[in-house]
Amino acid sequence: MTEKIKICAGPGCKAWNSETMAHRLQKMQGNGKVCLVPCMNKCGGGASIRLRDRGKIIKLRETKEVAQLMDPNKVALAAVC
């Protein structure tokens, strides 16, 4: 998988439960692989998640999508261009 997963902690993403998603991912990935970062300026449509440095930002709308993020067989997540 990736070295580090970055999750936006800006106010818009917090409204989409980004902190809960971060805690859930930390349980799945282990400490040090998931971090909350300042606003990514990609607001609206869900919590912003970046899987790689300078990679595309994806939007998660529900906490259950965190499990889908970790499943390589599921690719139905929205990416922000």
Domain ranges of the chain: 5-80
Is the pTM value of this prediction over 0.85? no
The Cα–Cα gap between 53 and 50 comes to 7
Q: How confident is the model at residue 74 (pLDDT cuts 50, 70, 90)?
A: low
DSSP assigned state of 80: E
Q: How confident is the model at residue 2 (pLDDT cuts 50, 70, 90)?
A: very low
b/e map 39-68, b = 16+ CB within 10 Å: ebebbeebbbbbbeeeeebbbbeebebbee
Percent of the chain with pLDDT over 70: 74
Q: How confident is the model at residue 47 (pLDDT cuts 50, 70, 90)?
A: very high
- Residue 12: is its pLDDT beyond 90? yes
